[in-house]
Structure 1
Amino acid sequence: MISRKNLSPHIDYGSVESMSPPQDGDKSHILLAILGLLTCALGIIGNGMLIYLLSCRINKTCLTMYLLNMSIADLIIIVNYFIDIIFYFRPTQFPSLISSLRYISNFLGNDASIYFLTVITVERYFMFFFPVCYHSHRPKLFTALMCSILWALSLGITLLEYFICGSAQFTNEIFNCDTIAILHFICNFMSFIAVVVFSIVAHLTRIQRQLPRNFPTRFDVSIMATIVWTLVFWAPIRIVNFLQFWIPPTYRPDLFVVFVLFEMIYRNGRPYIYLLVGWWKNQEQQRSIHVFIESALKHTKENKSKGTQEDKELA
């Protein structure tokens, strides 16, 4: 069984068989579990709705394709949370194959989600600062190729960490599980923070210089809100897990439950951020949900021809 400590920088949500059934004195945990169940239900509805709208109702652009894949990754993790909470009330020993698949899907979804968010930030940076070069030199089918690369990269890193941390034959210092987990954290967390902070600071600086002549698009507001949401709910959990490599491991169920709740709020909240941004200052108009979300994810103000050209590229 893969240890909880070795799952850093992720949280072990797949070890439901190690969770004890709720006792009479665990009312606070039961309440948090019910709250988590409701949060997961909202997340499944929100991400499912977003996946449907981005697939069938909203005009596809290079950036919305990344958001579609990011929502798929989030939905994979939310379904795992939902299963864990259900079996919290009645712990069940899963077959090793199912446990392994859930472990891999959890890591895969987490890595893919953060990679897609990073790529969205980078592409938006080039689109904003170098528009002519971006649209003239961007290869055809670049978005589809990048999505495939990011999913393959996430799967490769996930399988590498799974086999090293889950196999007893890798006991030497070179292939130590803790070393792999630390490198994994540095690659994911530090690169994301560096890229996102640089892009956002540059973005905000240029927007401030252009005000009031030119306001940011709703898409920029959506992405900035998503990044702030990520830094508030996702980053602290990874930092604490990273510090556990040097702090004596003490498993505290209350802290673990809070971390799980933070992670679920982070995964489940993004669709509603887009809905809120699209609804902002448009609430006086009678519009459907997909119009609000499409408005929040529109990254151009008047140039629709480029968006149409990108749609044809992605088709």
Structure 2
Amino acid sequence: MMINESLDDFINNASWNGTEDNQSLTKQDTYALPLTIFSLALSVLGLLGNGIVIWFLCVKIKRNSFTIYILNLAVADFSFLLGLLVWMMYTFCYLNGLSIPAIEQSYLALIIGLLYNFGFNASIYLLMVIALERYLAALYPFWYQFQRPTNLSPYLCTVFWLLSLLVTGLENFICMGAAQYQDPGSENCTYVYFFTSALYLTVVPIMVLSSVTLVAVFWKKRWHHAKPYIVIVISVMVFMLSVIPARILGLLLYFKVLQTDDFLVEFFFVTSLCSAFNCSANPYIYMAVGRWGKQKIEEGSVKHVLEKVFKEATENQNMT
């Protein structure tokens, strides 16, 4: 669901009590403020983690085919979280009685929604291609080391950024307004949902099969340098647990399996939190996995831990 749809529905359904100086939400809307604050906190943590990864990969750590993907994934997650942070700041102000004119609100929703959806879509596609490449590196190390095109990583990243741009444009300019959930009969919007759902049905099985295969390879070969693969498996598991249920819920709402009027605003908060968790988790997964086996935390350990994980990605492509 696009971000600008949620605000329209929230504003239309929110109720206010109290005096001019002391406004408060009615009982049915009391969940909104704490969830907004929690989303803000999660977004800040995610921006901090992804910002650290971007900084080290751009400045401190030598790049390889694996880190190019990780850098692009961190940028995508950062873009999503930045859009969510700004939107939740606006929601927090609104819940406390501050607002901006409707026209400015509409432009703000459009711009942030584009950033929000663009980053999220790119994140999904990049995670899929990372999992697939690790699968190929594990099962076909000779091909991966000697026959894999040298510039494949930047080319694939460009392709998936362009695909994200296409999907985001379709979602934001063809399916517009909360009315799509109240009357999902628009043929164009339905076609968009079929198209994006088909993409998910392609992406998710690739992620799952690649991750399951990697787990099987770990068990059989018992590699000493398996951290990059463990990172990808955990990242895919986080994606599956946090994003897929919300995506299914969105389809149930769109096709009227669930009552729209009762769930639309709640759906926005649920999907925002789940997506924020997914996009915030990766940097902390890298750091946690990188510290496995270390006896103590060293000075400058963030660089050391990240470098260790990403260096092992190159070392592993020589293993059979």
- For this structure pair, what is the TM-score category when the shorter chain's length is used for normalisation? 0.7 to 0.9
* 75-84 or 152-161, larger mean C-alpha shift: 152-161
Identity of aligned residues (%): 25
Q: Does residue 272 in structure 1 map to residue 284 in structure 2? A: yes
Aligned residue pairs, count:
290
TM-score, normalised via structure 1 length: 0.82
In 1: Cα distance, 2:4 partner to 2:277 partner: 15
The corresponding residue for 1:102 is 112
Contact 1:76 1:105 in 2 (8 A): yes
Q: Does residue 208 in structure 1 map to residue 210 in structure 2? A: no
The structure richer in helix per residue is: 2
In 1: Cα distance, 2:285 partner to 2:157 partner: 23
The corresponding residue for 1:225 is 234
Contact 1:14 1:84 in 2 (8 A): no
The corresponding residue for 1:38 is 41
- Deviation (angstroms), 1:24: 6.2
Describe how 1:120-199 pairs up with structure 2 within 5 A: 120-166=130-176, 175-188=187-200, 190-199=201-210
- Deviation (angstroms), 1:263: 2.1
In 2: Cα distance, 1:44 partner to 1:13 partner: 22
In 1: Cα distance, 2:192 partner to 2:283 partner: 32
CA pair 202-174 structure 1, distance change in 2 beyond 3 A: same
CA pair 176-205 structure 1, distance change in 2 beyond 3 A: same
The corresponding residue for 1:117 is 127
TM-score, normalised via structure 2 length: 0.81
The corresponding residue for 1:242 is 251
C-alpha RMSD of the superposition: 2.8
- Deviation (angstroms), 1:302: 4.7
Deviations 1:220-242 (A, max 9, x none): 11111111111111111111112
1:222 partner amino acid: V
CA pair 287-265 structure 1, distance change in 2 beyond 3 A: same
Task: Report the secondary structure of 2:175's partner residue.
Answer: helix
CA pair 31-130 structure 1, distance change in 2 beyond 3 A: same
Structure 2 gap ranges (5+): 17-23, 95-99, 178-182
- Deviation (angstroms), 1:174: 9.0
2:229 partner amino acid: D
In 2: Cα distance, 1:106 partner to 1:228 partner: 22
Deviations 1:43-68 (A, max 9, x none): 11111111111111122111111111
Describe how 1:44-63 pairs up with structure 2 within 5 A: 44-63=47-66
The corresponding residue for 1:23 is 25
In 1: Cα distance, 2:315 partner to 2:196 partner: 41
CA pair 175-79 structure 1, distance change in 2 beyond 3 A: same
In 2: Cα distance, 1:292 partner to 1:220 partner: 15
